[in-house]
Every structure is written in structure tokens, then in C-alpha cells.
Amino acid sequence: EVQLVETGGGLVQPGKSLKLTCATSGFTFSNAWMDWVRQSPEKQLEWVAQIKDKSNNYATYYAESVKGRFTISRDDSKSSVYLQMNSLKEEDTAIYYCTWGYPYWGQGVMVTVSS
Amino acid sequence: DIVMTQAPLSVSVTPGESASISCRSSKSLLHSNGITYVYWYLQKPGKSPQLLIYRMSNLASGVPDRFSGSGSETDFTLKISRVEAEDVGIYYCGQLLENPWTFGGGTKLELK
């Protein structure tokens, strides 16, 4: 069974940093392209970032809204993907989902940016 | 970026009746390989989005055949026949033709 479990969310002040972790199981993680998608309090879904596999040189892609502030990375030995979020803004407040392709989504983790 | 526009914002349906949700993309989602990269998701209250339809008209595993997807290159429809209580939630269309993935604003389905 495919499982994606996000952790690391919480309340953080504007300008601060937070790192999300997505631990996975049930599939060959080393071959997988992984994404982060977030959902705003208004329920709008927004793709955030993608990381490809080793055969694609771990290429990364970002939404314009987070480029330069967020970094996606992975550890194939731990079957985990990460999202390092720096210089957080109030508009980054959302539920963050880890996804494997289009079918598989984690349960999500809440990130609240507020003073 | 490809813009996905859904309608209506909400729909109220009597159990047992059918419902349709529309989605329009700002660019053709038909790839040269013949596949149309539009997807439909249902987000039940308190849950993460679950896949209903992939590549415009293919039913995801475990999804009842009351759900069906159809469309053209830019106009798409999700139809739910014989709506049941478990169908309540927010429906999203999304395109995975190119990065960035983009999603419609969602359609909330409620029961009368």
C-alpha cells in the first residue's frame, strides 16, 4: 500500500523558516518524481515544487510564488522528500500535501504564517 | 500558466439525481500522443483530494462507475449519475500537461 506521511508543519512568524518532511512507503521511491501541492484557506490548490529522480539528475522545478524561497530535496535512502521553506509570508499559510504523480496524496500538514 | 476554470461554484443535488460539473482550460490539453491530460479529484470534508478520473475519461481504481469524464481539447465535463451522500465534497479539475500543474477553483456539491 502506498503511503505518504507529511510532518513538520506548525505556526511560524513571517520571515522565519520551516522544513517539511514526507516519508513514503509502498513504492520504489528512487524512481519516483515527487511534488508538493498546497491548499490555501480559501481551498484553492496550488502546485509548489517538483523533484525528479536520479536518472533525471534530480532536476527541480518551482512555482513562481515560491522560487528563491523554497527548496525541494530528497533522500532516496530514507524514501523521503523535503520542502525547506525560508522567508515565509502570510500568503504561504496553507495545507501542504506531498504527492506521487497524480493519484497519490498524503494527508497534508498545516503551515500557518502569522505574527 | 494554463488557467483552469470550473463551473458552477456550487451545486445542490437531490440524492438519486445526476449532476454535471464543467471545466475549461485556457490551452488545449491534448498532447501529440493522443492523451488529454485533464484529471478530476474529489475532496471530502477533512480529507486530502482523491483521484476520480485521469486522462479525461479513465475511471480511477475503486471509483464507482456512477462517475464519468468526457470532453474535447479545452472543455471537459464530470458527470455523476445517481448522486449519493458519500459524493458530498469539493470537486476539482486539474491539468498535468505541463508544469506548473494547475487546478480549477473547485465546485462544492451538496445534497438537497
Q: Which of B99, B101, B106 has its CB closest to that of A43?
A: B106
Q: Which of A44, A63, A102 has its CB closest to that of B54?
A: A102
Cα separation of B38 and B26, whole Å? Answer: 12
Q: How many CB atoms lie within 10 A of CB A96?
A: 23
Task: Express each pLDDT in B33-82 by its tens digit.
Answer: 999 999 999 999 999 999 999 999 999 999 999 999 999 999 999 999 99
Query: Taking CB atoms and an 8 Å cutoff, what residues of chain A touch B96?
Result: 102
CA dihedral over A37, B61, A33, A21, signed as positive or negative: positive
Q: Do A97 and B39 touch (CB under 8 A)?
A: no
Q: What mean pLDDT is predicted for residues A60-68?
A: 97
Query: Taking CB atoms and an 8 Å cutoff, what residues of chain A touch B54?
Result: 102-103
pLDDT number for residue B1: 95
pLDDT number for residue A101: 84
Cα separation of A108 and A105, whole Å? Answer: 8
